[in-house]
């Protein structure tokens, strides 16, 4: 005889909605973790699935600091430009193509160095080549334009110094005159740096840093000439320090004025900071990504993106990503948040305005 016990059990959505699951404080997950009531808990599958992989923080490398690689790029670029023109450079009376091309060539190769250095340290060969090809014509054009402007400024400044009684290049007033004139070459480097980086803010920071660094490099040029008695060697040392000072100052100013950035705490790029200039910054294993993450097969070509809208900074992930240890698809970032993607970990930072 059928009874109520023989009827099939039916559970509706309303029944599930009325179920209340008590909150259980997080505790150790292990082979036999003991709860407060004395019962043993073995954890759950979801507990393990939601745990971010532990990534140890690594010490950053000096080679990934902006002031270092931009300074090195400026130094090498200046030496290359000098080396190409020095054999045809004539001291004193007379001019050759070496005299005409010396400063424009130095500025050109400095611009190329600034354009490719960031991509080079990020191991993005494709991006470095593209930026180098863009920086070359820009450097040539700006090199000649700013050479004319610098000579005009220098001649005016030297005339003012001469009227004041300072006529020898041993006079510090002449050093300052050269520094003011050569500062415009730093503006050329900063302009190219921003153009290849596709950011007006990056160009602004680069120009400010370039003006400061090139001005300092210009002021120390004549003292170097005085200290190194061989003309060609003195020019090599002077231009090398000029290029290094320009690049290092660009890196320092860019770092000092940044608003929002990701600092890499773990992975092959530990110590590198990615300043978030653009409204949309892409992250992935494709070299065209704004933040290129290499040597990790778990990272998608287009893995994530960071969107900035006013004061709101949001990360959107297409692949596996964690923020503060929790898996996310979309999350608004707060200052100090730790973002993990594959073998890489980033600390999101903001500069607080007073």
**pLDDT for 192-212, tens place per residue?**
999 999 899 999 999 999 999
Q: Check whether residue 198 and residue 295 sit in a common domain.
A: no
Q: Check whether residue 199 and residue 304 sit in a common domain.
A: no
- Enter the pTM of the model: 0.81
More confident of the two residues 64 and 37: 64
Give 347-354's long-range contacts (Cβ < 8 A, gap of 24+). Answer: 347/262, 347/263, 347/265, 348/260, 348/261, 348/262, 348/313, 349/260, 349/261, 349/262, 349/263, 350/259, 350/260, 350/313, 351/258, 351/259, 351/260
Q: Is residue 38 part of a domain?
A: no
Q: What is the pLDDT of residues 83-142, one digit of tens each?
A: 999 999 988 767 788 899 999 999 999 999 999 999 999 999 999 999 999 999 999 999
Mean pLDDT calculated for residue range 212-219: 95
Q: Check whether residue 213 and residue 79 sit in a common domain.
A: yes
Q: Is residue 5 part of a domain?
A: no
Structure token digits, residue 236: 């090599």
CATH classification of the domain holding 323: 2.60.200.20
The residue from 229, 257, 285 where one domain ends is 257
The residue from 257, 287, 321 where one domain ends is 257
Q: How many CB atoms lie within 10 A of CB 277?
A: 22
Q: Is residue 283 part of a domain?
A: yes
Q: How confident is the model at residue 333 (pLDDT cuts 50, 70, 90)?
A: very high
Packing angle of the helix pair 97-121, 231-257 (nearest 10 deg)? 40
Structure token digits, residue 154: 């220098």
Q: Check whether residue 110 and residue 205 sit in a common domain.
A: yes
Whether residue 151 has pLDDT greater than 60: yes
Q: Is residue 19 part of a domain?
A: no
Phi, psi of 12, deg, nearest 5:
-100, 170
Q: Check whether residue 251 and residue 264 sit in a common domain.
A: no
Q: Is residue 176 part of a domain?
A: yes
Strand partners, 347: 263, 338
The residue from 257, 288, 322 where one domain ends is 257
CA distance 236 to 86: 9
Place of tokens 């890196």: 251
Place of tokens 């259980």: 24
CA distance 309 to 333: 12
To the nearest whole number, what is the mean pLDDT of the chain?
86
Total tally of structural domains belonging to the chain:
2
Phi, psi of 260, deg, nearest 5:
-135, 140
Distances (CA, A) of 130 to 112, 119, 134, 188: 11, 10, 6, 19
Q: Check whether residue 300 and residue 203 sit in a common domain.
A: no
């Amino acid at each position: 005889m059928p009874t109520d016990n023989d009827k099939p059990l039916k559970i509706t959505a309303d029944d599930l909605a009325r179920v209340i699951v008590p909150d259980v404080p997080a505790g150790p997950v292990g082979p036999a973790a003991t709860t407060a009531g004395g019962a043993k808990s073995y954890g759950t599958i979801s507990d393990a699935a939601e745990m971010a992989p532990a990534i140890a923080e690594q010490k950053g490398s000096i080679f990934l600091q902006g002031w270092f690689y931009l300074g090195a790029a400026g130094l090498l670029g200046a030496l290359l430009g000098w080396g190409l023109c020095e054999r045809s450079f004539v001291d004193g009376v007379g001019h050759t193509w070496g005299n005409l091309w010396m400063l424009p060539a130095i500025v050109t190769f400095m611009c190329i160095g600034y354009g490719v250095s960031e991509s080079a340290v990020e191991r993005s060969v494709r991006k470095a080549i593209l930026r180098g090809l863009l920086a070359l014509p820009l450097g040539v054009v700006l090199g000649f334009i700013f050479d004319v402007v610098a000579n005009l400024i220098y001649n005016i400044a030297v005339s003012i110094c001469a009227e004041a009684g300072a006529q020898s290049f041993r006079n510090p007033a002449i050093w300052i005159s050269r520094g003011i004139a050569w500062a415009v070459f730093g503006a050329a480097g900063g302009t190219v740096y921003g153009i290849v980086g596709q950011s007006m803010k990056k160009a602004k920071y680069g120009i400010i840093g370039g003006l400061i660094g090139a001005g300092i490099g210009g002021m120390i040029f004549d003292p170097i000439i005085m200290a190194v008695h061989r003309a060609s060697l003195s020019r090599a040392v002077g231009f090398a320090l000029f290029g290094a000072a320009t690049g290092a100052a660009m890196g320092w100013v860019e770092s000092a004025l940044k608003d929002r950035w990701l600092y890499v705490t773990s992975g092959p790029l530990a110590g590198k900071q990615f300043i978030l200039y653009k409204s949309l910054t892409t992250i992935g294993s494709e070299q065209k990504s704004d933040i290129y993450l290499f040597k990790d097969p778990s990272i998608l070509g287009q893995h994530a993106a960071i969107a900035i809208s006013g004061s709101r900074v949001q990360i959107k992930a297409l692949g596996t990503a964690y923020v503060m240890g929790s898996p996310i698809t979309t999350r608004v970032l707060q200052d100090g948040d730790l973002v993990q993607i594959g073998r890489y970990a980033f600390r999101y930072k903001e500069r607080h305005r007073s």
